[in-house]
Chains A and B, each alone.
Chain A
Amino acid sequence: MSSRITARFDALKQENRAALVTFVTAGDPSFDASLAILEALPGAGADIIELGMPFTDPMADGPAIQKAALRALAAGQTQIKTLEMVKRFRERDTTTPIVLMGYYNPIYRYGVERFLVDAKAAGVDGLIVVDLPPEHDAELCLPAREAGIDFIRLATPTTDDKRLPKVLENTSGFVYYVSVAGVTGARAPTPTDVERAVGRIKEHSQLPVAVGFGIRRAQQAEEIARFSDAVVVGSALVDCIEGAVDTATAVAEVSRLTRELAEGVRAARR
């Protein structure tokens, strides 16, 4: 059985273009507004959706996504509600892959087994859990794959050739290359360095390679999309939500930026 993630990458390969992966935090600024944003993303050009599971202590995130998490929690978002949001999204969209991204503690507290069952039932396709390196694959990575959910690993500028095979070993769906050493939304990556790193990963893996961290504008997306299989944008979209006065504005602003980014990704290999 081909997963939604694999199917999506296969289809884009036929189109000869990279995927646009958009990140927003579930429940930011509220459940209803967040669901409306989520539902608008595929139409605006998002190929894969990363949905952040809010956590009080997001150690790998910059100020934008930290604040988004706190807004969501203040509005009452929980793990249960995040899965509910995915379920509601799936009522109208059965093809756009959804990858939940976050930290281990809320999943651990929920109960790993129960979480995987509920996530699968809701229509979740993959997980990115920042604080679970391959040394802890037994915690969630292996059980997730058994439950039919991809576990997408992060490779970073500090992951050297010796360590890379270990990082890639149990990864499925795609590989997420963190383009700069740092937190989300910080500095912009240098395309030549990133291209070299993507090439290095591809020597070790057949999986599509996505690139994220520090990509904010269509032009950057276009540059990165020339040599990667996917471009991830998060903080810039989350900033649109922070700046919006109401749900309609938030949806409009996120859609506008998504369309621009999608245009950039599509222009890359023309």
Chain B
Amino acid sequence: MTTNATPVRSGAGPDADGFFGDFGGRFVAETLMPLILQLEQAYEASKTDPEFRRELAYFQRDYVGRPSPLYHAERLSDALGGAKIYFKREDLNHTGAHKINNCIGQILLAKKMGKRRIIAETGAGMHGVATATVAARFGMQCVVYMGATDIERQQPNVFRMKLLGAQVIPVTAGTGTLKDAMNEALRDWVTNVDDTFYIIGTVAGPHPYPAMVRDFQAVIGRETREQIIDKEGRLPDSLVACIGGGSNAMGLFHPMLEDESIRMIGVEAGGHGIETGEHAASLNGGVPGVLHGNRTYLLQDDDGQIKDAHSVSAGLDYPGIGPEHAFLFSSGRVEYVSITDDEAVDAFKTCCHLEGIIPALESAHAIAHAAKLAPTLPKDHLMVINLSGRGDKDMASVAAYLEKRGDTEVLPDTAEDARDVDDLQFGQGSNQGETH
């Protein structure tokens, strides 16, 4: 059925029609097709435009704060007693997550194309904040679509976007989460075809978005590769990153896909557990379908209706995944696992206690899987976890979650209690797991 039955070499896609093997494509309404073709042309031209490359490098360095550090998480490594763990500190970027890497790239493109109005969808609000930020910096009008459910659980980010001058439009259609926000952004785009640029926040959507967002995020992996060689004199043995749409993971993985010795693991949001049906693990719990402009793995029922995703983390709460991940899943190059809400919250607490870093709940999924894996690995195993964002936005969600599960150990009452957190154990996944 598709244009390319032979899988492309890992890392080499997509083909001219936007396919990574069977996945990807340009499944959009005719009204949007000419716009998408224009965008593809502009993007291709930007790749060889020295002025564009210069501007991008300038803003990555002086505005975003790149390169982000590669930090040896020594206490976490010691506590786990196995692999030597590094964090790629995307949480230290301006706006607190990897999202801005892509937004800077796309807004420069928007400027080049003469667009004046920016639209975006957002889940946890990090992409919305990053978009509002670059729109402010470049003096463009900005409209962010955000599900009503997400607005409730991510209030600080909503306020941030408004401060930055963006209009945040609550989406009540459907289930009021990320997928509905994306539908609404597409409806806006199809209506405002002349002046509007749609900054998609992840490696999904119609071609060229999956490739373009990947390329803007690939700075993560390129830096990591250089930094680890600088620190350790060799390539890492494994890479671990969380996956909603999959942009931080793709950014880390893609520049090293050809380094065959490196094991790569994408961590999906397992919600209450895959077996419960309440999760956001499109690869581990979905089947191929077509949504939001691309063919990929989707959470859907037998009738092809899209199912609601569930995750404690709003940023992973999406029933699909970028098409290149679908391809890397089918080719076997990357392993895809899942982590439950409980496990992610445990890892969130541990990272706070041991490293003094409050990770985004999304990134906590990656830490949680690393915590399962690291103890089984030798001490000379080099593991890089993408710490894709900081967790300040998650305070209310985590507090509510801990209260709901009767978890009182999050706030040590005395200094003595506080020291005991060294004894924290992983993977117990519930309220009484942590021994003192």
Chain A residues with CB under 8 Å of chain B are 55-60, 62-63, 66, 70, 73, 78-80, 103-110, 112, 130-133, 135-136, 138-139, 153-160, 163, 167, 178, 181-183, 186
Contact A107 B174 (CB under 8 A): no
Contact A78 B303 (CB under 8 A): yes
Q: With A and B bound together, what is the CA distance between A183 and B183 in angstroms? A: 11
Contact B31 A105 (CB under 8 A): no
Contact A131 B31 (CB under 8 A): no
Contact A73 B305 (CB under 8 A): yes
Chain B residues with CB under 8 Å of chain A are 1-3, 17, 25-35, 173-174, 179-180, 183, 186-187, 190-193, 287, 289-293, 295, 298, 300, 302-306
B26 CB to closest chain A CB (Å) equals 6
By beta carbon, the residue of chain B nearest A167 is B30
Cβ contacts under 8 Å, B287 to chain A: 109
Contact A105 B2 (CB under 8 A): no
Contact B173 A63 (CB under 8 A): yes
Cβ contacts under 8 Å, A133 to chain B: 26-30, 33
Contact B305 A56 (CB under 8 A): yes
By beta carbon, the residue of chain B nearest A155 is B30
Known A-B contacts A55-B305, A57-B179, A131-B290; A157 and B186 likewise in contact (beta carbons under 8 Å): no
Across the interface, B289 reaches (CB within 8 A) one of A105, A136, A158, A163, namely A105
Contact B1 A178 (CB under 8 A): no
Contact A158 B304 (CB under 8 A): no
Contact B306 A59 (CB under 8 A): no
Known A-B contacts A59-B186, A105-B290; A135 and B33 likewise in contact (beta carbons under 8 Å): yes
Q: With A and B bound together, what is the CA distance between A193 and B193 in angstroms? A: 16
Provide 23 A-B residue pairs closer than 8 Å at the C-beta atoms, listed in order of the A residue.
Answer: A56-B305, A57-B179, A59-B190, A59-B292, A70-B174, A79-B303, A105-B306, A109-B304, A110-B304, A130-B29, A131-B29, A131-B293, A135-B17, A136-B25, A139-B2, A153-B30, A154-B29, A154-B31, A155-B30, A178-B30, A182-B187, A182-B190, A183-B187
Cβ contacts under 8 Å, A155 to chain B: 30
Contact A59 B30 (CB under 8 A): no
B300 CB to closest chain A CB (Å) equals 7
Contact A107 B304 (CB under 8 A): yes
Contact B27 A178 (CB under 8 A): no
The majority secondary structure among interface residues of chain B is mixed
By beta carbon, the residue of chain A nearest B298 is A105
Contact B1 A181 (CB under 8 A): no
Contact A60 B190 (CB under 8 A): yes
Known A-B contacts A57-B179, A59-B186; A158 and B300 likewise in contact (beta carbons under 8 Å): no
Contact A159 B30 (CB under 8 A): yes
Q: With A and B bound together, what is the CA distance between A168 and B19 in angstroms? A: 24
Cβ contacts under 8 Å, A131 to chain B: 27-29, 290, 293
By beta carbon, the residue of chain A nearest B175 is A56
Cβ contacts under 8 Å, A106 to chain B: 303-305
Q: With A and B bound together, what is the CA distance between A167 and B29 in angstroms? A: 12
Across the interface, B27 reaches (CB within 8 A) one of A56, A78, A132, A154, namely A132
Across the interface, B304 reaches (CB within 8 A) one of A60, A108, A178, namely A108
Q: With A and B bound together, what is the CA distance between A160 and B180 in angstroms? A: 30
Cβ contacts under 8 Å, B34 to chain A: 158-160, 163
Across the interface, B190 reaches (CB within 8 A) one of A103, A110, A181, namely A181
Q: With A and B bound together, what is the CA distance between A138 and B5 in angstroms? A: 13
Cβ contacts under 8 Å, A56 to chain B: 174, 305-306
Across the interface, A57 reaches (CB within 8 A) one of B28, B30, B183, namely B183
Closest 5 CB pairs of A and B: A109-B304, A106-B304, A182-B191, A156-B31, A131-B27
Cβ contacts under 8 Å, A132 to chain B: 27
Cβ contacts under 8 Å, B2 to chain A: 138-139
Cβ contacts under 8 Å, B302 to chain A: 109
A198 CB to closest chain B CB (Å) equals 16
Q: With A and B bound together, what is the CA distance between A157 and B191 in angstroms? A: 11
A221 CB to closest chain B CB (Å) equals 22
Contact B30 A104 (CB under 8 A): no
A188 CB to closest chain B CB (Å) equals 14
Q: With A and B bound together, what is the CA distance between A135 and B17 in angstroms? A: 8
A204 CB to closest chain B CB (Å) equals 15
A10 CB to closest chain B CB (Å) equals 27
By beta carbon, the residue of chain A nearest B3 is A138
Contact A109 B27 (CB under 8 A): no
Q: With A and B bound together, what is the CA distance between A25 and B187 in angstroms? A: 19
Contact A104 B193 (CB under 8 A): no
Known A-B contacts A78-B303, A106-B305, A138-B3; A57 and B174 likewise in contact (beta carbons under 8 Å): yes
Q: With A and B bound together, what is the CA distance between A107 and B34 in angstroms? A: 25
Q: With A and B bound together, what is the CA distance between A228 and B186 in angstroms? A: 29
Known A-B contacts A59-B186, A112-B1; A136 and B27 likewise in contact (beta carbons under 8 Å): yes
Cβ contacts under 8 Å, B300 to chain A: 105, 109
Q: Which of B25, B180, B190 has the most CB of A within 10 A?
A: B190
Known A-B contacts A63-B173, A183-B190, A186-B191; A105 and B304 likewise in contact (beta carbons under 8 Å): yes
B303 CB to closest chain A CB (Å) equals 5
- 4 further contact pairs, Cβ within 8 A, besides A57-B291, A159-B34: A73-B305, A106-B305, A139-B2, A153-B30
Across the interface, B31 reaches (CB within 8 A) one of A73, A104, A139, A157, namely A157
Cβ contacts under 8 Å, B33 to chain A: 133, 135, 158-159, 163
Contact A59 B304 (CB under 8 A): no
Contact A60 B29 (CB under 8 A): yes
Cβ contacts under 8 Å, A157 to chain B: 31, 193
Cβ contacts under 8 Å, A57 to chain B: 174, 179-180, 183, 291-292, 306
Cβ contacts under 8 Å, A79 to chain B: 303-304
Q: With A and B bound together, what is the CA distance between A186 and B31 in angstroms? A: 15
Q: With A and B bound together, what is the CA distance between A121 and B1 in angstroms? A: 23
By beta carbon, the residue of chain B nearest A113 is B1
